[in-house]
Amino acid sequence: STRLKRFCVAVACWLCVSVFAMATECQVSDIQERQSPSTATNDSEEQSTDPKVAASPRRRCPDSFFLQEGIGSRGLPVEGAWLYNLEAASVPVPSGKMKLVALPVFWLICLAWGTFQRKAQLHWHVPGEPGQQVVFERSLPGGWQVLLNACCVVALSAYAIGAYLLSQRTMEKVLNPLFTPRTWAGHASVAALMFAVAIGSSFLLRSNWVVGAAGLFLFIGWALCGRTVQESTSGHGQVGLGPSRADTDIGMSCHKDGAAVESGMSGQRTFKARLLAGDAGVAASGGRLRFAIVQAEPEAVGDDAVLLEQVQDGKFTYHAPCGRSNIFRWDCLLVCMAAFGPNLPSFIIGAGSFNQCVGVLELLCALIYVPVGYSCFAVWGFRLGLTCRASTGIVMIITFWPVINLMLGGKGCATLVHLIAQQYLPQIWSPSATTFEFNRGFASCSEYAYSLGGETLLVASTTIAAWVHIMSNFSFLFGFVCGLVRKHRNGVETDTEPLVTVA
């Protein structure tokens, strides 16, 4: 508790310093822009006939670096962000056949690591409950119970595999509208919910690991695949980059509609962007659309992306924003640090095989997490996490790649194999047994789960809990390795996609 209090105090201090620094930067920016010689003009030029221009201060437009800008906005331009999640890539995605070949290799590596990890933890007496043994009487005839056990393992495994195969469809139909809403109110509501899930889950890891881990990675999945989009452009060239046509931006230094509104400003404002792969479709005018990562100012770190339209002469014009991943916002980073940071040692040493609490809560949380987590981490592991250095770096920092992924992947594979191999429940496949032993997690949780659903609930909860950590870490491990190898093949450096200048 003392460490947690100190951490919270440190986060609060950092928050105050960050807010002060941001406010100071805005004030300095305002003064510099007002006093800049490049914008000085004669008295006649300084007078504007537009009352909005005359009333508006010359300053940088808002940028959603700390929180979502544009309170009350409706009809946010989210289509580009949705399309970016579905199609953008920097390298070709591995084929289905390659994934089928890689999956058994991943499984064997994780199983070997998980088995070694478990033995080492028991030998070194890692803090936590490795599993208490309890004995129950079977409430059903042995043959029927074995059949139910087999159906649970097969059906829930098929559910997890199906969720992985349908991850693209889940992202398109469910997660894109949910994680990147069209309204500011919707975005703020989802963000508040995810912040609460992250903070609440951080307190459950010692009493119910699967529920706590599922909540934390649900938050991380939203932070990675949810995208911040605003109506106006930014002084950093972020989020809504390009010609800002929002009325609220009139009179600001970033406003442009054919020509700059401010007197003395150049009408030709351009920016640089690095083209990505992926099918972005065709614009209404017939030009090909391309995804691109904005080359922002050095202090503006993020994966800000846009849709560009390629015209006939080979040049590119701005078409629509694709937004910025939520993980690059300060509020998301601070919540991630507060929820994930104090528990980082537990993830690094692989404490996920300890402190299990089988039951209805574990079952329901795992059923919810699997389609959401699989979709988010498949999208990020195979495609979006490789689009720029900021995206790759943020994932490697958060997950200590590949340490935590290997730890959790090993835990998931080992849990499923140990269940099937009769280590958690020795009588799982024995039709003649009248009693059975169960030794996964806390005894109190096992006893309560048995009172609700008998042996069937114990088997079902353990099965889906194992799948929580399998395919999402497969995406991070295999997807990242495959993508990085392709990026660096033959000595090719990262970020070698064509760099273009956009009008």
Residue 436 token pair: 């059975």
- Where is pLDDT greater, at 304 or 295? 304
Residue found by looking up tokens 């289905």 in the block: 96
| Tokens standing for residue 437 | 């032993």
pLDDT-above-90 percentage for the chain: 46
| pLDDT, tens digit (0-9, with 9 covering 90-100), for 3-12 | 455 455 545 5
Please, which pLDDT band fits residue 403 given cuts at 50, 70 and 90? Answer: confident
Region of residue 320 (left: phi > 0; alpha: psi -120 to 50; beta: else) = beta
Please give the Cα distance from 421 to 415 (Å, whole number). 10
- 325: closest CA among 372, 279, 379? 379
- pLDDT for position 263: 33
**What is the reported pLDDT for 269?**
55
| pLDDT tens per residue across span 368-392 | 999 999 999 999 999 999 888 888 8
In the predicted structure, residue 106 carries a pLDDT above the cut 80: yes
* 166 pLDDT more than 60: yes
The C-alpha atoms of residue 314 and residue 501 are separated, in whole angstroms, by 11
> Is the pLDDT at 322 greater than 80, yes or no?
yes
Strand partners, 309: 289, 317
Q: Tell me the two tokens of residue 209.
A: 């690991």
pLDDT at site 415: 94
On average, the pLDDT of the chain sits at 80
Buried-exposed string 400-431: b where 16+ CB fall within 10 A, e elsewhere: ebeebbbbbbbbbbbbbbbbbeeebbebbeee
Q: What is the pLDDT of residues 116-150, one digit of tens each?
A: 888 888 888 887 888 899 999 998 999 999 999 99
Q: For residue 317, give the 3-state DSSP assignment.
A: strand
Least confident stretch, 371-375, 450-454, 493-497: 493-497
Query: Parallel, antiparallel, or unpaired: how do β-strands 259-260 and 271-275 relate?
Result: unpaired
Using omega within 30 degrees of 0 as the cis cutoff, is the peptide bond preceding 402 cis? yes
Can you give the pLDDT at residue 70? 77
Which has the closest alpha carbon to 438: 458, 416, 421, 456?
458
pLDDT value of position 352: 79
Measured distance CA(501)–CA(503) in Å, rounded = 7
Identify the weakest region by mean pLDDT among 114-123, 166-175, 197-206.
114-123
User: DSSP class of residue 271?
Assistant: E
Please state the pTM of the whole predicted model.
0.83
What's the distance, CA 367 to chain centroid? 18
Q: Is the pLDDT reported for residue 114 higher than 80?
A: yes
Q: Of 439, 435, 461, which Cα lies nearest the Cα of 449?
A: 461
Task: Flag whether pLDDT at 428 surpasses 80.
Answer: yes
Q: Residue 176 and residue 170: Cα distance in Å, rounded? A: 8
Non-local CB neighbours of 290 within 8 Å, separated by 6+ positions: 275, 276, 280, 307, 308, 309, 310, 316
Q: Which residues contact 75 (CB under 8 A, 6 or more apart)?
A: 182, 183
Q: What pLDDT digit, counting tens, does each position of 18-66 carry?
A: 444 444 333 333 333 333 333 333 333 333 344 443 333 444 556 777 7
What secondary structure letter does DSSP report for 493? Answer: P
Identify the pLDDT of residue 264: 37
pLDDT of residue 314: 76
Residue 169 has pLDDT above 70, yes or no: yes
pLDDT of residue 319: 81
Angle at 438 between CA 143 and CA 217, to 5 degrees: 110
Q: What is the pLDDT of residue 25?
A: 38
In terms of average pLDDT, the best of 155-169, 261-275, 277-291 is 155-169
Backbone angles phi, psi at 325, to 5 degrees: -60, 140
